[in-house]
Amino acid sequence: MSATIIGLASDTAHRFSKEPRQSLTLLAGLGAAGDAHAGRTVQHLSRVKQDPSQPNLRQVHLIHAELFDELAHKGFAIAPGQMGENVTTCGIDLLGLSAGTRLRLGGEAVIEITGLRNPCHQLNGLASGLMAATLDQDADGELIRKAGVMAVVIVGGAITVGDAITLESVPLIYEPLGPV
């Protein structure tokens, strides 16, 4: 199965869930046009309070639809955009990518993976217990964060539900994803 965009979402306000869209325009160095989290410097309100001059490594949030299937088995009905992501994917192991991996979304846009989304307590506002359901532990007891990955926009362009996702480039040395 090839990797595909199965959902897109954005919101002009800082709300947890985002509104579903059929298409988005990604802007190089900024994020999704019209989205509250787009910008060269950090836009997440908690991070703005810490240091508003930090670079925005969270311009675009991606979640794999396979997580929604896993959550459904735990009793959660989650739709694209509800967990605050801009892009819902299918057929690509987002969590297994190296930091610095570049993905082409559709025919033009290129994003670079910067790290993991750190699940926060706001997930429980969507559904009680959802935050815990997006966390796991590996065999060594290390925390596994499953709530998607964050990226920056390298090359802008329009993306649409149904567009292909292709691997543009991979760093020579694998760097495990950490929270950003």
Q: What is the pLDDT of residues 11-46, one digit of tens each?
A: 999 999 999 999 999 999 999 999 999 999 999 778
Side-by-side strand order, sheet with 87-90: 19-21, 4-10, 87-90, 60-64, 149-155, 109-116, 102-105, 165-169
pTM of the model: 0.96
Which of the residues in the chain have pLDDT under 50?
Answer: none
Asked if the structure places residue 86 within a domain, the reply is yes
Asked if the structure places residue 129 within a domain, the reply is yes
Cα separation, 124 vs 9, whole angstroms: 20
**Domain span holding position 132:** 4-97+120-169
pLDDT reported for residue 49: 82
Residue 83: CATH number of its domain: 2.40.33.20
Q: In 10 A of CB 75, how many CB atoms?
A: 10
Count the residues in the chain.
180
